[in-house]
Structure 1
Amino acid sequence: MEQQTKTWFITGASQGIGLVLVKQLLANGYNVAATARNLETLKQAVGNSSDQFLLLQMDLVNEESVGKAVDAAISHFKSIDFLVNNAGYGLIAGIEESSNKEVQAQFDVNVFGLH
């Protein structure tokens, strides 16, 4: 019986922990659907163009964008076995120093974007 290769879906894959995880998983033979806001940055950072690697541009705070990325990953790999919600960012400022827009944007990505 042939064993199916497991598929990972990783958000925030163009730098940091997400990028390291993508590279390690690809090196170990897994399928990886990796998302980023900027595909060119992700493509250059990973340097892999195999059928096991699917680059996806995704805006975490846009439900339609997220849905399209998930659908594309399932269409390409037939399933998603593991999800790593790694996308996010820090705001280096005291809450009283931040504008409402800055705080809302951070919550949209780091809190609401994960559901």
Structure 2
Amino acid sequence: MIRPLIVPLISLLAASAVSAAHAAEPIIDAARAQDLARQHACFGCHAVDKKLVGPAYRDVAARYAGKSGALATLVAHVQNGTSGTWGAVPMPPNQISAADAQTVVQWILAGSKPN
């Protein structure tokens, strides 16, 4: 009697877990993130898919993939600058709000996909 209920219950639980996982993902506004990156001259040192002065955004996303606190760490790097993180060339601090830096970093961590 209970057996016929197990399969639908397991399916329902699995579907709920998948929905919850997707609900936690931020919605990325790629066009806004790219506009912010242009406004703050990020593309002067970074490109999506190749190293310029700084690392490619895809390399940044790969290094920080799945790491707890990656978003906060990278927002701090963008705002405060870094030294020695990706080699000898330091990244200078940027005059960007935390909210705007977060938008750009979320886009980078999501794979820097075009709008």
Verify same fold: TM over 0.5.
Answer: no
TM-score (norm. length: structure 1): 0.28
Compare CA radii of gyration and give the structure with the larger one.
2
Larger strand percent: 1
Larger helix percent: 2
TM-score (norm. length: structure 2): 0.28
